[in-house]
Structure 1
Amino acid sequence: MADEGKNDDLKRIADALERLAPPPPTPVDLASGDAFYWDAAGAKAIDPFEPIDFDLLTGIDLQKARLLDNTKRHASGHAAHDVLLWGSRGMGKSALAKSVVRALQAQGEDIALVETASDHLEKLPALFEILAREKRRFILFIDDIGFAEGSSEPRMLRSMLEGGASERPANVRLYVTSNRRHIVPRQMSEQDDPINPRDAVDDQLALSDRFGLRLGFHAASQVDYLAIIARYAEAHGLAFESEDALLWSKQRGSRSGRVAWQYIVELAGRAGKSLA
């Protein structure tokens, strides 16, 4: 009888733990859907996927044209590059990477965005295996990539981009953003190292060299900043004064697409309007 009571207690504990445990995640169908987020637990659908409208992005016309052409090639099954979008904060790198995918989806292209964080790089080979089984095309997006000093992750990413055992599949291209042109900062100590200094620097630069297309984003001029605001204001039916817009940027110490959008949010709030 004692054993039966003990077994009953264990069963009740097991049942209670099962109720507390979260249900297993529902597998995501990567063959449909517009965008996904990949982390240690797997893929999750991004729904709704509503990046800024491609046509609204202003002051980066060359970058838009080149990224659209490259992404369209990939969506069509033609040769296309992995892309590094580098440069000033708030100038539309992340927005462009997402909006170009949405623009092609609107044109009927079967392409999807998969976003992940740079601290999940070690999980990418598993993701590549999954994506390789799909017929559609994917853009793997890694935003604001960065590495700790001495990290092995730059070499891991290089291997994925070119020639390694975990090389990304043909239906996937990587779009990566960074504030630095070469992703990994060059330290003066490397240049002063008396033991083979050139090799140390070359090892750092080798990662950015793996991206066939590198698009630079530079700080907005006053003219570009006002043009961005004018484009947003027109789209949302808002009026503004140039002096007020410039004062807004001076108070924030920078001119960028992000600062311009924050000003539009301020204008809409003053006017009692919603931007949704």
Structure 2
Amino acid sequence: MLDRIELLLRRLEVLLPPLDQSPDWRAHAFRWRKKDVLGSRVGWLEAVAAPHRIRLEDLQHIEPQKAEMVRNTRQFAAGRSANNVLLTGARGTGKSSLVKAVWHELEQAGLRLIEVDKADLVDLPELVALLAGRPERFIVFCDDLSFEEGDAGYKALKSVLDGSVVAAPDNVLVYATSNRRHLMPEYFDDNARTRHQDGEIHPHEAVEEKISLSERFGLWLTFYAFDQDAYLAAARHWLAEFGCPAWNPEIERAALNWALARGARSGRVAWQFARDRAGREA
């Protein structure tokens, strides 16, 4: 009977949040986690044991965006004023990787990274209150951010960025990536239906509401699809990183065919090709 009770308790422990929910501030990277407990959602800050570290020099052909990101983040890590950042543009071009690379570059200067899922943005005010007063500098990172009509996290993020009666702490910035410049879907009807929009008397105000969130990010960085030369250079770089420094016309053709099959040329596709090729030739 005791063995069965112990087994049951172990199974319940997996479903429940940790008893001690105080963060391990010695960690350099965290995730905001949530679980359902007795009908309510409980959140806590979980230290990441093995964070994904990327070097800045591994990010190819995004030098202007890289320079702006490093400058803004260095200001922040040094205790000076800096802006929240929105990174938008083509998929696979290094938006998320740049956030992680800049954090890795400056983590020894006291910079910390916290990843928050879009579904948990409603807890952002609670998280910011937890971080206020800490000596570290925190980047709250939300990847692949976009909203649909009525998302609860939309207004929570707006309030934290700029708009709450509570002043935002100077040791927290929000970095978000998205494929949408304005973070919400936009329709032809937003302009075409000038007489009304979902019953609204002033349709232009509905449009203003849609773009107001992205306007609260002080720094916008836009990423563009790679051309063929940039893609091949990235593939060559990653092959060297994986221990395959040789480059010849046969490998170049294979890299181009790989991109053609994927329907895109980007840093991510180049990395995937190099990973596959290195595995074949190991």
Do both proteins adopt the same fold according to a TM-score greater than 0.5, normalized to the shorter chain? yes
3-state SS of the aligned residue for 2:148? coil
Q: How many residues were matched structurally?
A: 261
Question: Which residues in structure 2 correspond to 1:131-150 (within 5 Å)?
Answer: 131-150=131-150
1:181-212 per-position Cα deviation (integer Å, ceiling 9, x unaligned): 11112112222231322211111111111011
Asked if 1:33 corresponds to 2:24, the answer is no
SS of the residue 2:212 aligns to? helix
Q: Do the aligned partners of 2:148 and 2:185 also contact (CA within 8 Å) in 1?
A: no
Q: Following TM superposition, where does structure 1 have runs of at least 4 consecutive aligned residues deviating by more than 3 angstroms? A: 13-20, 26-30, 165-168
User: 1:219 deviation in Å?
Assistant: 0.7
Q: Distance in 2 between matches of 1:92 and 1:28?
A: 33
Question: Secondary structure of 2:102's partner?
Answer: helix
Aligned to 1:78: 80
Please, which of 253, 258, 261 is the counterpart of residue 263 of structure 2? 253
Q: Is 231-240 or 24-33 further displaced after alignment? A: 24-33
From 230, 236, 242, the counterpart of 1:224? 230
CA shift at 1:52, angstroms? 2.1
Which SS does the other structure have where 2:112 is aligned? strand
1:111 and 2:111 correspond: yes
Structure 1 gaps of 5+ residues are 1-12
Relative to structure 1, is the Cα distance of residues 18 and 185 closer, same or farther in structure 2, using a 3 angstrom cutoff? same
Which SS does the other structure have where 1:21 is aligned? Answer: helix
TM-score w.r.t. the length of structure 2 is 0.85
Q: What is the rounded CA distance, in whole Å, between the counterparts of 1:104 and 1:20 in structure 2?
A: 39
Give the distance between the partners of 1:39 and 1:250, measured in 2 at CA: 38
Larger CA Rg, structure 1 vs 2: 1
- Determine the structure 2 residue equivalent to 1:96: 98
2:199 corresponding residue in structure 1: none
CA distance in 2, matches of 1:49, 1:16: 31
1:15, 1:220 → 2: CA distance? 56
| CA distance in 2 between partners of 1:147 and 1:228 (Å) | 32
Does the 8 Å contact 1:35/1:45 carry over to 2?
Answer: yes
- The answer (yes or no) to whether the contact 1:159–1:167 under 8 Å persists in 2 is no
Identity over the aligned pairs, expressed in percent?
38
Task: Report if aligned partners of 2:99, 2:175 keep a CA contact under 8 Å in 1.
Answer: yes
Q: What is the deviation of 1:16?
A: 8.1
Match 2:243 to one of 233, 237, 241: 237
Does 2:179 align with 1:170?
Answer: no
Superposed displacement of residue 51, structure 1: 2.3
Q: Tell me the equivalent position of 2:12.
A: 21
- 1:18 Cα deviation (Å)? 4.9
Q: Is the 8 A contact 2:124 2:156 kept in 1?
A: no
How far apart, CA to CA, are the structure 1 residues paired with 2:99 and 2:207? 29
- 3-state SS in 2 of match to 1:250: helix
Residues 2-21 of structure 1 mapped to structure 2, 5 A cutoff? 18=9, 20-21=11-12
- What do residues 146-180 of structure 1 show as CA deviations (whole Å, max 9, x unaligned)? 21223343233111100314654211000000001
Q: 1:245 to 1:48 in 2, by over 3 A?
A: same
Deviations 1:104-147 (A, max 9, x none): 12xx3001000010110111111111111311100000000121
2: CA distance between counterparts of 1:236 and 1:180? 33
Q: Match of 2:213, SS?
A: helix
Shift of 1:88: 0.8
TM-aligned CA deviation for residue 234 of structure 1 = 2.3
Q: CA RMSD in A?
A: 2.3
SS at 2:93 equivalent? coil
The reply on whether 1:69 has 2:60 as its aligned counterpart is no
Structure 1 pair 20–270 and aligned structure 2 pair: CA distance change class (3 A) = closer
Write the deviation string for residues 203-229 of structure 1: whole angstroms up to 9, x where unpaired.
Answer: 111111101100001111111101111
Partner of 1:4: none
Q: Is the contact made by 2:146 and 2:180 (CA closer than 8 Å) also made in structure 1?
A: no
Q: Report what 2:40 is aligned to.
A: none
CA distance in 1, matches of 2:30, 2:217: 23
Aligned to 1:181: 181
Q: Is the 8 A contact 1:74 1:137 kept in 2?
A: yes
